[in-house]
Chains A and B, each alone.
Chain A
């Protein structure tokens, strides 16, 4: 019994490792469908850096939106503020969360009535990661 549990654990660990071989991995991806008539929406996800070096994202784009920006909502002495982020760095072996009330992608001016969006993460001219997301209500 104990051996079979160990075997299952080892298999899970192995499969988890092999699934995360890519240098930059996205998980928990949520892109909210724009509220009817609104020109913007928010995107959330977790970016995990599987390399030994810091990865710095300095641009995000999406064919389904005219403009994508990285922003951060901050609660500052009871005041809700939103700041643009020029870059987001993910330290070696660590993850950074884009989540409601924190860092988020601000997706502006949808190019049409879309049900899904492709998010492209860049460092300079290098396209590091492409993520396909279904719009959620």
Chain B
């Protein structure tokens, strides 16, 4: 075999190998979320005027420049709300340990702004982590945010002066453009967030 033939053979082997590699790359199915529903087109939010746990004015831009996990609840909720916040904090911790970058921020939006003043929200979210954002404010402005995300909430009487607030139990994923990107339906498990979030966050 002459040197010319050897060269042709090497080129052929490299070409076949590259082709096989490329086809494997193209044919391999992209990982898909197990539980999250990803919106075909991310949704923009209408403007709103609320406050964070420090009492600082915020609008829809509060969701910009971060991936956010947004949960709706209230501080007088002893069962589901702490449970969900613990699941989200646990998922975030697992993602951090797995080296995920960037990490999503956890945001609690109050569906009971009447009792959840910024001071109350600050104590509450601080209990679950250092970098959890609490959002509260006037009810009318809150409706602008929740209606835009398809979130239902209404007061329900318990006994005497006590009331609870029935509310949508979804966790919404906002992308760094401040858009509604995906949602997780309840009941929530940390493993679902740990599996699906890196896929959602890398797809944008």
User: Is the contact region of chain A dominated by helix, strand, or loop, or is it mixed?
Assistant: strand
Encoded as 1 (CB less than 8 Å from any B CB) or 0, chain A from 64 to 105 comes to 000001010101001111101000000000000000110010
Beta-carbon contact of A73 and B156 below 8 Å = no
Considering the complex, give the chain A residue whose CB is closest to the CB of B72: A80
Smallest CB separation, B94 vs chain A (Å): 19
Contact between B79 and A38, CB atoms less than 8 A apart: no
B166 within 8 A of A: yes
A75-B169, A75-B187, A80-B186 known; A32+B82 contact, CB < 8 A: yes
Alpha-carbon distance A84/B167, docked complex (angstroms) = 16
What residues of chain B lie closer than 8 Å to A107, measured between beta carbons?
Answer: 78
Interface string of B147-179 (1 = CB under 8 A from A): 000001000101100101011111000000000
User: Inside 8 A of B159's CB, which chain A residues have their CB?
Assistant: 69, 84
B-side contacts of A108, CB under 8 Å: 162
User: Chain A nearest CB: distance from B29 CB in Å?
Assistant: 29
Q: Say yes or no: A38-B166 contact (C-beta < 8 A), given A82-B77, A100-B79.
A: no
Contact: A35 with B82, CB < 8 Å? Answer: yes
Q: Known: A69-B159, A78-B185, A82-B158. Is A38-B124 also a contact (CB below 8 A)?
A: yes
How many residue pairs bridge A and B at CB < 8 Å?
74
How far, in whole Å, are A108 and B156 apart by their CA atoms in the complex? 17
B158, B162, B187: which contacts A101 (Cβ < 8 A)? B187
* Alpha-carbon gap, A107 to B162, bound state (A): 12
Q: Is the C-beta of A123 less than 8 angstroms from some C-beta in chain B?
A: no
Question: A104 is contacted by which of B79, B127, B169, B185 (Cβ under 8 Å)?
Answer: B79
User: What does DSSP make chain B's interface, helix, strand, loop or mixed?
Assistant: mixed
Contacts of B185 in A (CB 8 A): 78
User: What is the interface residue range for chain A against chain B?
Assistant: 20 to 34
CA distance A104 to B77 in the complex (A): 11
| A-side contacts of B170, CB under 8 Å | 78
Instruction: Judge if A112 is at the interface, Cβ distance under 8 Å.
Output: no
Bound-complex Cα distance A37 to B185 (A): 30
Kindly state the separation between the CA atoms of A41 and B185 in the bound complex, as whole angstroms.
25
A37-B123, A69-B159 in contact; A80/B169 too (CB < 8 A)?
yes
User: Do A82 and B156 touch across chains, with their CB atoms under 8 A apart?
Assistant: yes
Whether B124 lies near A35 (C-beta < 8 A) is: yes
A40 near B: Cβ within 8 Å?
yes
- Could you mark each residue 70-112 of chain B with 1 if its beta carbon is under 8 Å from any beta carbon of chain A, else 0? 0000011111101100000000000000000000000000000
- CB-CB < 8 A to B12: which residues of A? none
The 10 tightest CB contacts between A and B, nearest first, are A42-B78, A80-B169, A37-B123, A82-B164, A81-B166, A35-B127, A100-B83, A73-B79, A104-B79, A40-B78
25 pairs from A and B in contact (CB 8 Å cutoff): A32-B78, A32-B82, A35-B124, A35-B127, A40-B76, A40-B78, A42-B79, A69-B158, A71-B158, A73-B80, A75-B169, A75-B186, A78-B168, A80-B166, A80-B167, A81-B166, A82-B79, A82-B80, A100-B80, A101-B83, A101-B187, A104-B78, A104-B79, A106-B78, A106-B79
